[in-house]
Structure 1
Amino acid sequence: MNRLSQLLLLFAMLALVSACTTVPKATAKLEPTLVLNGVEIEKAGLVDKNDMMYVPATFITDTLGATLEKPKDNDLHIDNEELVEGVYYRDQVAVLMYHAIMDEPTDSSIISAKQFREHMQWLKDEGYVPITIEQYVAFLHEGEEVPDNAVLITFDDGYENFYTYAFPILKEFDFAAVNFVIVSGVDDPSLPGIKKLSWDQMREMKEHRIAFHNHTYNMHHYAAVNAEGIEQPVAISKLYVPEEGRSETDEEYVARVTADLGKAEQRLKDELGNTLSVIAFPYGAYNDRLLDCLEALGIETSFTIQKGINSKEDKLGYRINAGRSDQSAEKLLAALKPKPIDINDHTMLLNGKLIAFSSIIAGDDNQPALYPLREVSNELGLFIGFNKETRTVTLAN
């Protein structure tokens, strides 16, 4: 073998060794990191177990400022009122949440027209009474009564497929509903994304007790909140101003959010004659700053994506996510038949509310117990996002 051939063979062997030694680094699983309100939390104790993120109890209490304690027997709320057969709750309203509806769903978060019809039939057969948004607002703010088993049917985002698939079914059952509309997509149909409803379609549906309310004008998206490019929902976040190397001031945030919400309200009033001001928070995310903006605009009624059934005291409305195509009607709507929560090893009081967690990883003398972060976040009304590539969990309030 000549000198040149030897050198070529040596380079090939070195390249092969280098490639082999770099494979573990390229495929190594990154440790998850946690960012809260745009700031990375060191030593958050975030644990990825069975494709679920957990945080220690100390993070919940010390960093999030929540209370977390084991319930006692007398913490279990028992309703002594005797309900007649077929009445599952009284003086409360369950709110169902849907998004897109299609003939053939392309995602588990989209429900088919066939499934939606099955849901409506189930409600009718089980004795539930769909009410209007006007009845719901009067119940919350004016002390008006609602029927037993009252339910409010809601859709988010104002997609045109609501008109195509849901509206004919709602008309068939003579059920009221409300759709929370991203108003910019209605005003400008050329914007990207799933096609939105038109004002003419909404005016037609209003004649059949279908209402349309605020899902912001153009704040249903994420944007960077710091120089590192961490993104959060724009309705709850002070956005990063790259040309000035800083984040929005409180005053700038308030001006931007108030202008957006006010514009949405005005367009809904101009086009549909709305007299009520109601909002569903994008991604269910809200905080005190956003609530202050709502108060300044006179928007008194709002909806989260936290699970539960609403009493008169629940001004931040709970909703039950019924818009999944991968579960049966009975399973999706089981939450409409509330049962007492059994106190067991997975039951805790979080900010005084009894929560049945799906799992808790027990602690010991050296390590605190671990709780499912998504379930904690949902119960506390925190936005939670996850970047799979960087394995970064984002929380915001």
Structure 2
Amino acid sequence: MIPIPKTGDYMVMQCLSALLVLVNGLLIAVNSGPVQAQGDVRHGVILQYHHVSDSAPASTRVTPKAFRRHMEILKEDGFNVWPLARLVAFLQQDKALPDKTVVITIDDAYLDVYQNAAPILNEFGYPFTLFVSTDPVDQKLRGFMSWDQLRELQKQGAQLANHTQSHLHLLRKLEGESESEWLARIEGELKQSEARIAEETGANWKYFAYPYGEVNERLLKKIQEWGFLGFGQQSGAVDKALLNSGIAPRFPFNEHYVDEKAFRLKAASLPLPIAKESSEPIVWSKPAKPQLKLTLTAVNGALTCFASDQGEINVVKTADKEFTIQSDTAIPVGRSRYNCTMPVAGQQGRYHWYSKTWIRKRDDGSWYRE
């Protein structure tokens, strides 16, 4: 089994009302006060799942019951469930799309997705994208789909996209491996996986989901140079700029984070209106409190940010629409995030949502274990 990390994002929105919901382990105050009007829609939300099972690890699964309830909420609340390719086309062409448009993505091609998720999705008529790691399929590993099953889902409307061959940690160099050798190896992983998917199914979308959501600045640039649209595991809604950033956000779900109110908030979120971002490096080999600077195009209320395992962190308004965000203590070893929200003007109870990923190695420079 391919290990997938816990998606322990922390998100808090401090507003005027006392209505509370649970989002990724924290109580969140949801604004019920007056808000302002919002313009046309050029954004969407991408949802991310792994296992849909009663028996897989809780950190990587949602139960079929919880998954069905998420699909019911999308229908009850009037969401528009689109194929990923359609959302990509609309965003890249700057075309307005319906409000509350979502895309469903599922990583790794686990067999329980074929057995449990696909029938539910077909029942609701919802398209979805499977990001496939091809080695487990080629090797016929237990617990993974076969190419015949993937082709069957494709005929039912699923898009098949790239999740590398072996679901490796992309940033971890082999012993003695140079920078150029490392990049050549990663390029081979992506291109060979893309070729296998095309060979078996005819699909060649060049959409790529990062295993574990791990990336650094060098790899981010290369993914784009190799012609792929990259999709991460950090939360938030997506617009054209974020889609083309090399690591478009997706909201990850697992058994710890399936609360219905939280799901509604995430699915109905909007991108934070960022005009400019600057930040310190993604990857650290020592204790660090990375600094993130954001310039927004509009400020509709309080910008509130939280860090993984820390709770609310410091947000300083340094100039008109300019903010500096920094954790109060060092980020933990492993993957962590800063998550920021701001009320949406004109849409009560909805929020702009943005997430920044950080990675910290051990103090001796070695990689953490999963």
Q: Please, what TM-score do these two structures have when normalized by structure 1? A: 0.62
Structure 1: gaps spanning 5 or more residues: 1-78, 84-88, 222-232, 241-246, 342-347, 363-367
**Equivalent runs, 1:298-309 vs 2, <5 Å:** 298-299=227-228, 301-309=229-237
Relative distance call for 1:386 and 1:174 in structure 2 (3 A) is: farther
Q: Name 2:102's counterpart in structure 1.
A: 151
Among 105, 130, 135, which residue is 1:179 paired with? Answer: 130
**Equivalent runs, 1:1-397 vs 2, <5 Å:** 81-82=37-38, 90-190=41-141, 195-218=143-166, 220-221=167-168, 233=169, 235-240=170-175, 247-299=176-228, 301-314=229-242, 315=244, 316-325=247-256, 327-338=258-269, 350-352=292-294, 354-357=303-306, 358-360=311-313, 369-370=328-329, 373=332, 374-376=336-338, 379-384=355-360, 394=368
Relative distance call for 1:323 and 1:90 in structure 2 (3 A) is: farther
Relative distance call for 1:393 and 1:375 in structure 2 (3 A) is: farther
Query: Contact 1:322 / 1:333 at 8 angstroms: preserved in 2?
Result: no
What percent of counterpart residues are identical?
28
Query: Contact 2:58 / 2:254 at 8 angstroms: preserved in 1?
Result: no
Structure 2: gaps spanning 5 or more residues: 1-34, 273-289, 296-302, 316-326, 340-353
The one-letter amino acid paired with 2:305 is A
Q: Please, what TM-score do these two structures have when normalized by structure 2? A: 0.66
Look up the SS of the partner of 1:283 in the other structure: helix
Query: Contact 2:223 / 2:230 at 8 angstroms: preserved in 1?
Result: no
Q: Name 2:10's counterpart in structure 1.
A: none
Relative distance call for 1:371 and 1:360 in structure 2 (3 A) is: farther
Aligned-residue offset at 1:104: 4.4
Aligned-residue offset at 1:375: 2.8
Relative distance call for 1:379 and 1:248 in structure 2 (3 A) is: farther
Relative distance call for 1:142 and 1:112 in structure 2 (3 A) is: same
1:207 and 1:304 mapped to 2: Cα distance?
Answer: 26
Aligned residues: 276
Aligned-residue offset at 1:356: 1.5
Aligned-residue offset at 1:294: 2.4
The one-letter amino acid paired with 1:370 is T
1:320 and 1:149 mapped to 2: Cα distance?
Answer: 14
1:293 and 1:350 mapped to 2: Cα distance?
Answer: 23
Relative distance call for 1:361 and 1:308 in structure 2 (3 A) is: closer
Q: Which has the larger radius of gyration?
A: 1
1:308 and 1:171 mapped to 2: Cα distance?
Answer: 26
Look up the SS of the partner of 1:382 in the other structure: strand
Relative distance call for 1:92 and 1:267 in structure 2 (3 A) is: same
Query: Contact 1:108 / 1:326 at 8 angstroms: preserved in 2?
Result: no
Query: Contact 2:44 / 2:238 at 8 angstroms: preserved in 1?
Result: yes
Query: Contact 2:236 / 2:269 at 8 angstroms: preserved in 1?
Result: no
1:381 and 1:272 mapped to 2: Cα distance?
Answer: 33
Question: Which region of structure 1 is more displaced relative to structure 2, 151-160 or 373-382?
Answer: 373-382
Measured on the aligned residues, the alpha-carbon RMSD in Å equals 3.3
